[in-house]
Structure 1
Amino acid sequence: MSYSPLLISLKAAVIATIITFICGIYAAYLTTKLKRFKGLVDGFLTLPLVLPPTVVGFFLLVFLGKNSFIGKFLALYDVSIVFSSTATIIASAVVSFPLMYRTARGAFEQLDRNMIYVARTLGLSEHEIFLKIMLPNSFSSIIAGTILAFARALGEFGATIMLAGNIPGKTQTMAVAVYSAVQGGNRALAYKWVAIMVAISFIAILIMNKLESVKINKVGKGGN
């Protein structure tokens, strides 16, 4: 049994989570500040969450394929995204992004606006308010969103197999390895990968629940 699917999945999930962490928080911050078209922007950013992963993968294939504008541009530098390890990261990031974005946006919108108003009267810039007030007071929710995004990226299948394919040792993630094992009639191998994925996901849920309990305890103590 080769453990390359585990390493590929972890690499893709970790890098994708870092990307979604930065982009998701920033997108949530910008969306909360919008005065117009907020619903339209929010719908577009949330779309990968409700679309079937294979449809997301199809759109990625259209936008990043060799016949696309991006694909033709990258071909000038002998770079191809489709069926590469980079494709597994992109697919995981796009599919997990809405979880980070929605969690961060919800946390920002639930903040006491009076804190922000007071910070502005004290002369803090919007950048300082974001870093010193919004992020620290949304820390627990953001960490929970990060864990959810990681778990989603780790188990991504549909978009990955559409964009990255199923190349052993290169793009075959654990989810794809389960599919291949079942297709090949190797149920024992499929059970092993499923067990590993369930264990990692369960640990992620336990961590998230622990953070939620810590958050509730802090709120309870603050109210006493």
Structure 2
Amino acid sequence: MSDWLGPAEWQALALSLRVAFVATLVSLPLGILVAFVLARRRFPGHGLLNGLVHLPLILPPVVTGYLLLITFGPQAPVGAMLEGLGLGVAFRWTGAALAAAIMAFPLMVRAIRLSIEAVDPKLEEAAATLGASRLRVFLTITLPLIAPGVLTGAILAFAKAMGEFGATITFVSNIPGETRTLPSAIYAFLQVPGGEASAWRLVIVSIVVAMGALLVSEGLARRVTDRVRGRDA
């Protein structure tokens, strides 16, 4: 494949993998927490939180990217503060990771939430009556049982982050070597004469990565589920 893809194509693929990995890794702890709160807690504003979590799925990605730009852009108060601390994200690969994480977050939360809702609360209550703290109940009872959902959510979020385009290009533009991910590279190649071949190669890579993520997600979830059931048997 090293001869099949050119340097610019390899650069876009490597950056996409980096962005997707960081986006997934950073958002996973928050995704588990939010999924648990939505599945196990009822409070004023529950519906609002659920709506905010899933809003990126409904909004046009360009809108999400624009909101990020006016929040974290160099001229925005938050963005200017981050720039002063050397932590600016606008027009950087870290901003692409942020945009990808936000767009992928709803898929991650939904998969994990469904797994938590499938766990019988009586198992957690029984552990609590034996004196286990809430954290210990979660780590020893809930988390092992929802592991398939966590894996599924993480891998789906990774695949979504790999394919994110609208929010990313609006927030961090399309800078070669810095923010040009696979979708941005495909778009760029289609804008220049003779770029169709490169675009097609990256389209094929995108399809392979997406299908691979789905197959790995299914396989890992099945393996973890079998292991959990075998331990409980």
> TM class by shorter-chain length?
over 0.9
Distance 1:75 1:204, change over 3 A: closer
Note closer, same or farther for the CA distance 1:124–1:219 as it changes in structure 2 (3 Å cut). closer
Where does the alignment leave 5 or more consecutive residues of structure 1 unmatched?
none
Amino acid at match of 1:100: M
Contact 2:144 2:228 in 1 (8 A): no
Could you state the TM-score of these two structures normalised by the residue count of structure 1?
Answer: 0.92
- Structure 2 counterparts to residues 23-172 of structure 1, below 5 A: 23-36=30-43, 37-77=45-85, 79-172=87-180
Structure-1 residue corresponding to 2:15: 8
Distance 1:79 1:136, change over 3 A: closer
**Alignment check: 8 A CA contact 2:16 2:162 kept:** yes
Identity across matched positions, percent? 34
Identify the range of structure 1 (7-16 vs 20-29) with the bigger mean alpha-carbon deviation: 20-29
Task: Figure out how many residues of one structure are paired with residues of the other and give that number.
Answer: 224
Q: In structure 2, what is the Cα distance between the partners aligned to 1:165 and 1:76?
A: 21
Cα distance, 1:67 vs structure 2? 2.4
Letter in 1 for 2:38: T
| Cα distance, 1:217 vs structure 2 | 5.6
Pick closer, same or farther for the CA change 1:11–1:41 going to 2, 3 Å: same
Q: Among 197, 212, 217, which residue is 1:203 paired with?
A: 212
Shift of 1:124: 0.8
Tell me the TM-score normalised to structure 2 length. 0.89
Contact 2:108 2:156 in 1 (8 A): yes
Q: Measure the CA separation in 2 of the matches of 1:54 and 1:19.
A: 22
Distance in 2 between residues matched to 1:75 and 1:219, nearest whole Å: 46
Residues 194 and 89 from structure 1, CA distance in 2 versus in 1: closer, same or farther, beyond 3 angstroms?
same
The alignment partner of 1:25 has SS state of helix
Unaligned runs of 5+ in 2: 1-5
Taking only aligned residues, the RMSD between alpha carbons, in angstroms, comes to 2.1
